[in-house]
Amino acid sequence: MDFSISCSNLSKEFNGDGIKTLALNNINAEFKKGEFVSIVGTSGSGKSTLLSLLGTLDAPSKGNILFKGKDIKTLRENQLADFRFENIGFIFQQFHLLPTLTALENVMAPLFSRKVSYNKKQKAEDVLKKVGLKDKLNSLPSQLSGGQQQRVAIARAIIHEPHWLLADEPTGNLDTETGEMIFDLLFSLNKEKGCGVIFVTHDPVLAKKAGRIIEMKDGCILSDKLGTLV
């Protein structure tokens, strides 16, 4: 199966208080299976909007997004939720962990009310081990450092083995060294699991380490270059 994502003539307009903002302006891009792509650009250039459209959290005003050649516009709301569950893992700057749940429970949360072919608790333990948190299964988010909380969020994103990991400034709240460790973790997941990674960052050093760097400006793609992939 080809798990590529293809965007054609993608635009997104927001309409608030009578003010129109063209957040994305005719984006054309293809993301190939297993790619590691970073997205850079000044604040307000449309990075988060693009990521939320790719992740089917929001719909474009114009244009199409194809996954494996299928237009996701054709999916109904419940089909879209299933599609997202099967294909996409999200990681955000603010971690978005549930404060009253332990690390293990947070990681299991996406599986709630889902039928899966594996043991949920065992799988959650496995992915927490993978991100280096086997000693923190029963810790609450408040008992974890920022870097550890982001690792829990990554474990939660990968528990159902998505084809794509979409990360919106995942290192934005972390110091440089911790940010690099999080980047390296995403990098090794990309290598080991073959999941594609689309990584929004303000950090030019991290951005250059990706296989491909897309720079955005005013809702457009300004450049699309190869990175070093180290």
Q: Can you give the binding site for ligand ADP, defined by CB under 6 A?
A: 14, 16, 21, 23, 41, 43-49
Work out whether 48 is an interface residue with Mg ion (CB under 5 A): yes
Neighbours of 98 (CB within 10 A): 12
Check residue 204 and give left, alpha or beta (phi > 0: left; psi -120 to 50: alpha).
alpha
Q: Which one of ligand ADP, Mg ion, none is in contact with 136 (Cβ closer than 5 to 8 A by kind)?
A: none
Considering the complex, state which of residue 35 and residue 169 has its C-beta at the smaller distance from Mg ion.
Answer: 169
Nearest residue (CB) to ligand ADP, 162 versus 219: 219
By CB under 5 A, is residue 201 in contact with Mg ion? no
Rank residues 48 and 87 by Cβ distance to Mg ion and give the closer one. Answer: 48
Phi, psi of 160 (to 5 degrees): -100, 20
- Residue 87 is a binding residue for Mg ion (CB under 5 A): no
Tell me the two tokens of residue 10.
């993608």
Q: Which residues contact 70 (CB under 8 A, 6 or more apart)?
A: none
- Tell me the residue number closest to Mg ion, measured at CB: 48
Q: Classify residue 13 by burial, with Cβ atoms within 10 Å: 0-12, 13-18, 19+.
A: middle
**Shortest Å distance, C-beta 166 to Mg ion:** 12
Q: Nearer to ligand ADP by C-beta: 54 or 107? A: 54
CB-nearer residue toward ligand ADP: 59 or 98: 59
Question: Shortest approach of ligand ADP to residue 43 CB, angstroms?
Answer: 4
Query: CB of residue 180 vs Mg ion: minimum separation in angstroms?
Result: 21
Beta strands in the chain (DSSP E): 5-16, 19-31, 36-41, 62-67, 70-71, 88-92, 164-168, 196-200, 212-217, 220-226
| Partner that binds at residue 18, options Mg ion, ligand ADP, none, CB closer than 5 to 8 Å by kind | none
- Unique residue bearing structure tokens 């990309």: 190
- Residue nearer to ligand ADP on the CB measure, 40 or 108: 40
Q: Which stretch binds Mg ion (CB under 5 A): 41-49, 56-64, 90-98, 158-166?
A: 41-49
Stretch that binds Mg ion, among 46-54, 74-82, 127-135, 143-151 (CB under 5 A): 46-54
Q: Which two tokens stand for residue 212?
A: 């491909």
Lookup: tokens for 124? 């959650």
Question: What is the identity of the amino acid at 67?
Answer: F
Residues that bind Mg ion in the complex, under the rule CB under 5 A? 47-48
